[in-house]
């Protein structure tokens, strides 16, 4: 490969949130353990992005900085090239991250007491944005089912969604597309049906498409804007960012596409109430480089992550077949069901962290339907993943869990 996806990084003492959180939980852990929790990568950044920042610094003044035409063009052109839909530059509202944008959308496009629909198990800031801002959390849980070949997967409960959308108190739905943590890449038909329901019932759709670039081989992301009609633009806001794709979350760069003028004005007004809504100055050259120079890096990344998922799935099938690993159509986050072990959420979390020395994202934090699940971050070198899974199997043997309940059989 042209790029380095094998070097093992040590982020101790760098301020990495997930590494610091691991050591807060296990201060005596020592070295050699890599957390597979929070969704940033254990890979080096694309060299083109680092070089772009260095070049920009040569003549830069680090003052307040607005988006340039080059930045806006890069965001628009990326969506056209990679996802096949045409935006306009003036639709873009830059924000310092997708999560602040979600909070602002709830604050500016709904009123206190309104119902906001989420589809759990789902990225937990969705629910936090609703409850923190004194709105009513309305759940439309995803359904667990199986395909004709017996493989597990999730689908939307459209009948339940229609009932929830028909309630005039429910005015917004926050869509995760691709879905974090369950890994679904929604089809055009699914998105079209969702839009039909929401537009008919005057429910605005806030689509978090931050993982839209991280699509595994054999699957294709459908941008919600590519299935929408112009007359539906007043019901759609799309949150995008280069942060997950290129591991630059620390630069706080997001491009929110708001095609309707009135909705955009309301959204911008909401940002005026937040003193720190501007992007930092490094976000602009980094985003431009990411969206104009890093296609090859992304293509290699997807091959690495896909191979890691196949290794995880094969490993579990061989050693812990009772653990159900759901297909990872998108994101770099694998979703695995450990409920067959019969442990409580507290027991499972304790086992992972104290016995297996695995620091994952616990399924229960994603809301209804997440208990007993674990989310594995697969954006890491293969040897990190192998060592992590070996610790898991060893700890399961010691505790006589699952396949080893009657003794050491493997």
Is the same domain home to 241 and 333?
no
pLDDT bin (cut points 50, 70, 90) of residue 275 is low
Q: Which of 25-34, 204-213, 218-227, 400-409 has the lowest mean pLDDT?
A: 400-409
Q: What is the pLDDT of residues 202-227, one digit of tens each?
A: 999 999 999 999 999 999 999 999 99
Instruction: Please return the burial class of 159, using the count of CB atoms within 10 Å of its CB with bins 0-12, 13-18 and 19+.
Output: exposed
- Find the CATH number of the domain harbouring 338: 3.90.1150.10
Res 111: pLDDT: 97
Report the pLDDT averaged over residues 74-100.
Answer: 97
Is the same domain home to 355 and 305?
yes
Is the same domain home to 222 and 301?
no
Is the same domain home to 270 and 363?
no
Is the same domain home to 175 and 312?
no
- Asked if residue 286 is part of any domain, the answer here is yes
> Cα separation of 304 and 219, whole Å?
16
- Asked if residue 275 is part of any domain, the answer here is yes
Q: Is the pLDDT of residue 158 over 70?
A: yes
Q: Is the pLDDT of residue 92 over 70?
A: yes
Is the same domain home to 224 and 317?
no
- Asked if residue 270 is part of any domain, the answer here is yes
Could you give the C-alpha distances from 187 to 68, 192, 193, 311, in angstroms and in order? 34, 9, 10, 26
Report the pLDDT averaged over residues 144-173.
Answer: 96
The last residue of a domain, from among 293, 320, 351: 293
Q: What is the pLDDT of residues 237-246, one digit of tens each?
A: 999 999 999 9
Is the same domain home to 278 and 170?
yes
What is the CB-side half-sphere exposure of residue 205 using CA atoms within 13 A?
30
Report the pLDDT averaged over residues 172-179.
Answer: 98
- Asked if residue 57 is part of any domain, the answer here is no
Res 150: pLDDT: 87
- Asked if residue 408 is part of any domain, the answer here is no
pLDDT bin (cut points 50, 70, 90) of residue 410 is very low
Q: Which of 39-43, 208-212, 275-279, 316-320 has the lowest mean pLDDT?
A: 275-279
Domain of 250?
Answer: 62-293
Report the pLDDT averaged over residues 76-84.
Answer: 98
Report the pLDDT averaged over residues 327-338.
Answer: 98
> Cα separation of 218 and 304, whole Å?
15
Q: Is the pLDDT of residue 277 over 70?
A: no
pLDDT bin (cut points 50, 70, 90) of residue 276 is low
Q: What is the pLDDT of residues 338-347, one digit of tens each?
A: 999 999 999 9
- Asked if residue 145 is part of any domain, the answer here is yes
Is the same domain home to 272 and 200?
yes
Report the pLDDT averaged over residues 44-51.
Answer: 98
Query: Which CB contacts under 8 angstroms, 24+ apart, belong to 3-8?
Result: 3/46, 3/47, 3/296, 3/297, 3/300, 3/301, 4/43, 4/44, 5/43, 5/300, 5/301, 5/304, 5/381, 6/381, 6/382, 6/383, 7/44, 7/381, 8/34, 8/42, 8/381, 8/383, 8/384
- Asked if residue 3 is part of any domain, the answer here is no
Strands in 373-377's sheet, in edge-to-edge order, are: 324-325, 333-337, 373-377, 361-362
Q: What is the pLDDT of residues 61-71, one digit of tens each?
A: 989 889 999 99
Q: Is the pLDDT of residue 60 over 90?
A: no
> Cα separation of 374 and 339, whole Å?
10
- Find the CATH number of the domain harbouring 234: 3.40.640.10
Is the same domain home to 225 and 283?
yes
Is the same domain home to 32 and 77?
no
Report the pLDDT averaged over residues 72-101.
Answer: 97
For residues 59 and 108, which has the higher predicted lDDT (pLDDT)? 108
In 248-340, alpha helices (H): 261-272, 283-293, 295-319
- Number of structural domains (the chain) is 2
Question: If you average pLDDT over every residue of the chain, what do you get?
Answer: 96
Q: Which of 44-53, 273-282, 384-393 has the lowest mean pLDDT?
A: 273-282
- Asked if residue 356 is part of any domain, the answer here is yes
Q: Is the pLDDT of residue 22 over 80?
A: yes
Is the same domain home to 301 and 286?
no
The last residue of a domain, from among 239, 271, 293: 293
């Amino acid at each position: 490969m042209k790029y380095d996806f094998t070097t093992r990084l040590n982020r101790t003492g760098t301020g990495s949130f997930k590494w610091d959180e691991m050591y807060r939980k296990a201060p005596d852990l020592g070295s050699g353990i890599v957390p597979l929790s929070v969704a940033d990568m254990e890979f080096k950044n694309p060299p083109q992005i680092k070089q772009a920042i260095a070049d920009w610094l040569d003549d830069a003044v680090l003052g307040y900085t607005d988006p340039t035409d080059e930045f806006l063009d890069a965001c628009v052109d990326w969506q056209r090239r990679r996802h096949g839909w045409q935006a306009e530059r003036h639709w873009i509202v830059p924000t310092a991250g997708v999560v602040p944008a979600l909070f602002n959308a709830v604050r500016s496009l709904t009123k206190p007491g309104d119902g906001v629909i989420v589809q759990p198990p789902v990225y937990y800031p969705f629910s936090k944005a609703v409850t923190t801002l004194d709105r009513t959390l309305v759940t439309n849980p995803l359904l667990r089912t199986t395909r004709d070949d017996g493989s597990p997967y999730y689908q939307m409960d459209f009948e339940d969604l229609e009932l929830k959308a028909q309630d005039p108190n429910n005015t917004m739905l926050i869509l995760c597309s691709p879905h974090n943590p369950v890994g679904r890449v929604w089809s055009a038909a699914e998105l079209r049906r969702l839009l039909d329901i929401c537009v008919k019932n005057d429910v605005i759709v806030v689509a978090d498409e931050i993982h839209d670039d991280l699509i595994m081989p054999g699957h294709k992301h459908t941008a919600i804007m590519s299935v929408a009609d112009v007359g539906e633009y007043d019901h759609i806001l799309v949150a995008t960012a280069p942060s997950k794709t290129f591991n630059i979350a620390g630069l706080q760069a997001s491009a929110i596409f708001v095609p309707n003028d009135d909705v955009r004005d309301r959204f911008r007004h909401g940002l005026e109430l937040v003193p720190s809504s501007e992007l930092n100055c490094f976000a602009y050259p980094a985003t431009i480089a990411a969206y104009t120079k890093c296609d090859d890096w992304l293509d290699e990344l997807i091959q690495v992550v896909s191979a890691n998922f196949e290794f995880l799935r094969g490993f579990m099938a061989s050693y812990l077949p009772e653990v159900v690993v759901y297909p990872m159509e998108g994101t770099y986050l694998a979703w695995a069901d450990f409920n067959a072990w019969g442990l409580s959420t507290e027991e499972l979390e304790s086992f992972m962290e104290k016995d297996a020395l695995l620091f994952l994202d616990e399924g229960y934090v994603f809301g209804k339907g997440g208990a007993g699940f674990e989310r594995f971050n697969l954006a890491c070198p293969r040897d990190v993943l192998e060592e992590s899974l070996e610790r898991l199997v060893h700890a399961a043997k010691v505790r006589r869990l699952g396949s080893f309940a009657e003794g050491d059989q493997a």
